[in-house]
Amino acid sequence: MLSGRLVASLVSMAGRVCLSRGSAGAGTVGPVEAAIRAKLEQALSPEVLELRNESGGHAVPPGSETHFRVAVVSSRFEGLSPLQRHRLVHDALSEELAGPVHALAIQARTPAQWRENPQLDTSPPCLGGNKKTRGTP
Amino acid sequence: MRASGRRTWQPRAEASPQVVNRGSGVEGSGEQAGMSGSLGRAAAALLRWGRGAGGGGLRGPGVWAARSSSGGCSAEQLDALVKKDKVVVFLKGTPEQPQCGFSNAVVQILRLHGVRDYAAYNVLDDPELRQGIKDYSNWPTIPQVFLNGEFVGGCDILLQMHQNGDLVEELKKLGIRSILLDEKKDQDSK
């Protein structure tokens, strides 16, 4: 369970990571984000799907769609290990992951698990990556 | 200087970028970690995302010198690599100087548990390895964690295992006692 203090530190950390800059400009949804959402909805029929473009917090150009965080709540995950759940998500997004998406943070929960903690986590701050090969996953 | 999530980490100059590191483990973890109260508090300490693997650039006797590049990443070679050590991680960067927040999270989790002896491979210095390990695991991203030769997952899964106690159990099966157990014992006895 997240304590109040932890939530506060997560929120301030999110501010430092500047997640709000991650979207493809002024709150619009870019094509990659739209594709991710559509494919996950088709593959997993989620009860809840929260998707955040976190590219703005990483060493990539503005407007990028390279780093995402997703929370998927689906009864399809019942009885599956975390690894199996993540593989289901990867399978649905194989094209994006072979293409523009460099990072995908996944929270894959059953409906009961989500009700216990209905929150999209925050990713750790970028540590720069390898700027020599910027743009390579 | 003990590592602390709130201080700026000053990385040491490294002997070589192509280093297979032994995680330097425990330094600084005691002040942050602790299962007292709940694993949530350990997760809170972890989530300050202290950078690097330890304080003051200490290197224990288990640290390897620079290794040559992987020299080919066939499935057989990678299979041997992930089975050579009980705990094997593929990172962007090194435990002393992670270059990715998610890779750093893996380093920090291992540090919290006092796992000192693990093999860490930096994919940023070896493009063949970077792609090869993704093909081998059928997993599209880095970091990747192997326990006892078996692929466990990335940063999200390791964090989940840390939070729900599974990591302590899996380490126990490998004969590695998490220091969080010792701290819990201390707390319980007070």
3-state secondary structure chain B: CCCCCCCCCCCCCCCCCCECEECCCCCCHHHHCCCCCCHHHHHHHHCCCCCCCCCCCCCCCCCCCECCCCCCCCHHHHHHHHHHCCEEEEECECCCCECCHHHHHHHHHHHHCCCCCCEEEEHHHCHHHHHHHHHHHCCCCCCEEEECCEEEECHHHHHHHHHHCHHHHHHHHCCCCCHHHHHHHHHHHC
User: To probe the interface with A, which of B100, B108, B126, B146 has the most A CB atoms within 10 Å?
Assistant: B100
User: To probe the interface with A, which of B36, B38, B47, B124 has the most A CB atoms within 10 Å?
Assistant: B47
Indicate if ipTM > 0.90. no
- Which residues of A are less than 8 Å from B100 in CB distance? 126-127, 129
Contact (CB<8Å) B101/A10: no
Q: What is the pLDDT along chain A (137 residues), one digit of tens a residue?
A: 545 555 445 544 444 443 334 444 446 799 999 999 999 999 999 999 999 999 988 888 999 999 999 999 999 999 999 999 999 999 999 999 999 999 999 999 999 999 988 888 889 999 988 764 444 45
Q: What chain A residue is nearest to B138 in terms of C-alpha separation? A: A87
pLDDT by residue (tens digit) across B103-125? 999 999 999 999 999 999 999 99
Between residues B190 and B138, the one the model is more confident about: B138
Domains of chain A with bracketed CATH: 32-116 (3.30.300.90)
Enumerate chain A positions whose Cβ falls within 8 A of a Cβ in B: 1-3, 5-6, 9-10, 13, 82-83, 86-87, 90, 94, 97-98, 102-107, 122-130, 133, 137
pLDDT by residue (tens digit) across B36-82? 444 454 455 455 555 554 433 333 333 333 343 444 589 999 999 99
H/E segment holding residue A87: helix A82-92
Both tokens assigned to B186: 């201390």
Give the pLDDT band (50/70/90) at residue B190: low
Q: What chain B residue is nearest to A70 in terms of C-alpha separation? A: B156
Least confident stretch, A5-14, B147-156, B158-167: A5-14
State if pTM tops 0.90: no
Question: Could you tell me which of B85, B94, B5 has the C-alpha nearest to residue B48?
Answer: B5
Single-letter code of the amino acid located at B182: D
Give me the residues paired with residue A73 across strands: A48, A109
